[in-house]
């Protein structure tokens, strides 16, 4: 016995099918991928493979719709945390469906082309500026549903990095929790593409006015969900 490793453990290997480029290495895949192909899992009796994160969630929702999926603990008046409030796969999925449709109705995530992009014709981006919480997951699932690329932002990155990421991706819309809204407002003057902040919490009138004076529209997630519920769209 000892602390030394007796043999290397290989989890991934570079793909033999995709060459490296001037700005990227070969993509790495699991050593268990057969014949160099991405692993897939059949969904339902027709055997349709699951190829996207949304398809995986939709399959889990179909199987476990009434079972617990997310749990959140709300703070009490004394600052302590209450019991978990659980929501099912169907409940979270319904919110993701409507939020995705709301984003489409608002044209919140336009398709953008980038001159220096070599591997894709363009992207639709959705920013999320928040700590982990249920709304983060709903927003991300909505993005996966409509083939929007999710761009995570965190205050720990610092204000310069937040501005850099927004400008690098030309973000139009950022979903944001209340504690990070002021940081997003502070970035707005240097981020001309930023137009819409979708708040997970209820904003104060003072904060909302401050944002809108800078040209940053404020909406809540519940408002976007309500718009989407009236204007459903199919997943991409």
Q: Say which CATH number the domain at 226 has.
A: 3.40.50.12780
The per-residue pLDDT for range 69-86, each reduced to its tens digit, is 999 998 888 889 999 999
Separation in Å, CA 74 to CA 79, 181, 201: 9, 20, 13
Domain membership of residue 235 (yes or no) is no
Both 101 and 204 in one domain: the answer is: yes
How many structural domains are present in the chain? 2
pLDDT band at 118 (very low <50, low <70, confident <90, very high): confident
Both 158 and 100 in one domain: the answer is: yes
Both 38 and 117 in one domain: the answer is: no
Average pLDDT score over residue span 218-234: 98
Closest alpha carbon to 126 in 54, 174, 192: 174
The per-residue pLDDT for range 8-61, each reduced to its tens digit, is 888 888 877 778 888 888 888 888 776 556 554 555 545 677 888 999 899 899
Domain membership of residue 18 (yes or no) is yes
Both 35 and 92 in one domain: the answer is: no
What would the two tokens of residue 147 be? Answer: 């083939």
Both 20 and 71 in one domain: the answer is: no
Both 40 and 72 in one domain: the answer is: no
Domain membership of residue 34 (yes or no) is yes
What would the two tokens of residue 155 be? Answer: 């205050």
Domain membership of residue 109 (yes or no) is yes
Domain of residue 35: give its range. Answer: 12-51
Domain membership of residue 5 (yes or no) is no
Tell me the pTM: 0.82
Quote the pLDDT of residue 41: 57
Both 30 and 107 in one domain: the answer is: no
Annotate the chain with DSSP letters as a single string: --SS-SS----EEE-SSS--BTTB-PPEEETT-GGGPPP--EETTTTEEP-SHHHHHHHHHHHHTTSEEEEEEEE-TTS-EEEEEEEEHHHHHHHHHHHHHHHHHTT-S-EE--TT-SS-S-EEEEEEES-S-HHHHHHHHHHHHTTPEEEEE-GGG-HHHHHHHHHHHT--EEEE-HHHHHHHHHHGGG-TT--EEEESSPPPHHHHHHHHHTT-EEEEHHHHHHHHHHS-----
The per-residue pLDDT for range 119-152, each reduced to its tens digit, is 778 899 999 999 999 999 999 999 999 999 999 9
Domain membership of residue 3 (yes or no) is no
Both 144 and 64 in one domain: the answer is: yes
């Amino acid at each position: 016995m000892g602390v030394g490793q007796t043999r290397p453990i290989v989890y991934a290997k570079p793909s033999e099918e995709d060459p490296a480029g001037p700005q990227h290495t070969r993509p790495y895949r699991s050593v268990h991928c057969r014949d160099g192909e991405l692993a897939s899992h059949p969904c339902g009796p027709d055997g349709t493979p699951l190829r996207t994160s949304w398809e995986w969630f939709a399959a889990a929702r179909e199987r476990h719709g009434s079972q617990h999926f997310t749990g959140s603990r709300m703070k009490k008046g004394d600052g302590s945390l209450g019991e978990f409030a659980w929501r099912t796969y169907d409940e979270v999925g319904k919110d993701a469906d409507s939020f995705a449709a709301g984003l489409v109705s608002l044209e919140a995530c336009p398709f953008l082309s980038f001159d220096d992009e070599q591997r894709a014709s363009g992207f639709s981006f959705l920013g999320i500026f928040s700590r982990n919480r249920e709304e983060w997951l709903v927003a991300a699932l909505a993005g996966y549903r409509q083939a929007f690329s999710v761009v995570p932002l965190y205050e720990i990155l610092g204000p310069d990095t937040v501005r850099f990421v927004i400008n690098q991706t030309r973000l139009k819309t950022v979903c944001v929790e209340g504690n990070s809204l002021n940081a997003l407002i502070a970035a707005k003057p240097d981020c001309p593409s930023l137009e819409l902040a979708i708040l997970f919490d209820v904003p104060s009138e003072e904060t909302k006015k401050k944002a809108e004076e800078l040209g940053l529209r404020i909406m809540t997630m519940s408002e976007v969900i309500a718009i989407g519920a009236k204007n459903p769209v199919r997943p991409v």
